[in-house]
Structure 1
Amino acid sequence: MYLAHSFMSDQKKHNSQQPLVLVVEDHDDSLLLMSYALESLGCRFICQADSSTTLVVAKEYQPDLIMLDILLPGLSGIDVMRQLKQDPLTYHIPVVAVTALATKEDQEQILMAGFDEYISKPYMIEDLEAIIQRLLYGKFEAYSAYELCQD
C-alpha cells in the first residue's frame, strides 16, 4: 500500500501569524522550488506529492491558501478542486492552479472549475508573489523576494 507523505516547513511553524499554504505537486523539483518560494515570502507550508489525501489535509490544517498542480497521478487537480468546493470545511479556501497547461482554453477551463487563480509553469517568483499577496492580502507582512535577498 502506498502511503501518502507530506511535510510541513520547520521554519515559521511556531509563528502562527504567518499564513499557511498547502502545496500539492508530484514533481520533486517543482515542489522544492515552490517550498523555497513560499519560505522566502514568509509563509508556512505543507507540501504533498499525492493528491489522494489533499482533502483530508486541508480539512485538518485549514490552510489559508492551496497551490494545486493540475496534472497529478490518480486524482487530477480538477478532481481535487471539486472535492474541496463540495466540503463545508474547505470550500472557502482560495485555490491556485499551478500547471504546465498553458493554452487560453486550458486557463478558461481551469478557472471555470472554481480555481481562484492560475499560474503556468515555468513561472517567475514575482508572478507567484503577486498572486499570493493578492489572495492573502492582510494575512501577513509580505516582503518581496528581492528585499529578502538584500538582507
Structure 2
Amino acid sequence: MNDSRKTVLVVDDTAEQIALMSGILNSHYRVEAAKDGERALKIAATEPQPDVILLDLLMPGMTGREVLWHLCSDPMTFEIPVIIVSSAGVEALGEDLKGSYYAALQKPINPEALLETVAKALSP
C-alpha cells in the first residue's frame, strides 16, 4: 500500500515520549522515530526525507542542539522544519538557537498544540 501521508520524524531518547507523540500523530501522518541524534541525522538525510522533525533538546550523547546544528548546516536537510520539544520553557532555548527552528513546544505535550504546530509547519 502506498502511504501518501506526510512523514514526521520524532527524535527523543525516551520510549515513552516517542510513544506519546507517535500516538497523537499516527492517524494523520507517517511517523518515524529515532532515540538518538546520530540515527536522527541518518533518517533525515535518507530519501524519502521526513517532512518535519520533532526534536528533543536534552538527550545523552549528541544533544538536540548538536542535531539542530547539523540539520541547519547540511544542504540536504536545512529546509526541513524542526519543532523543538523540550521540558525547558521556550525562553530557556537561548538566543543561539533563534532562527534555526520552526517552533517550540513544551513538555508535557498538549495533543492539540502538537497537531496544530505540525500542520502549520507542513502548510505551504
Under a length normalisation based on structure 1, what TM-score does the superposition of the two structures give? Answer: 0.75
Q: Which residue of 2 aligns with 1:130?
A: 116
**Distance (Å, rounded) in 1 between the aligned partners of 2:95 and 2:86:** 12
Q: Which residue of 1 aligns with 2:2?
A: 14
Q: Which residue of 2 aligns with 1:44?
A: 30
Larger radius of gyration: 1
Among residues 33, 37, 41, which one is paired with 1:55 in the alignment? 41
**Distance (Å, rounded) in 2 between the aligned partners of 1:29 and 1:66:** 17
How many percent identity over aligned positions?
Answer: 33
TM-aligned CA deviation for residue 14 of structure 1: 2.8
Q: In the alignment, residue 130 of structure 1 is paired with which amino acid?
A: E
Q: Which residue of 1 aligns with 2:22?
A: 35
8 Å Cα contact 1:111/1:118 also seen in 2: no
For 1:21, what is the secondary structure of its paired residue? Answer: strand
Among residues 65, 73, 82, which one is paired with 1:95 in the alignment? 82
Superposition CA RMSD, Å: 1.7
Name segments (4+ residues, structure 1) moved above 4 Å.
Answer: none
**Distance (Å, rounded) in 2 between the aligned partners of 1:38 and 1:101:** 22
1:117 equivalenced with 2:103 (yes/no): yes
For 1:45, what is the secondary structure of its paired residue? Answer: strand
TM-aligned CA deviation for residue 109 of structure 1: 3.7
Instruction: Return 5+ residue gaps in structure 1 as ranges.
Output: 1-12, 139-151
Matched residue count: 123
Q: In the alignment, residue 43 of structure 1 is paired with which amino acid?
A: Y
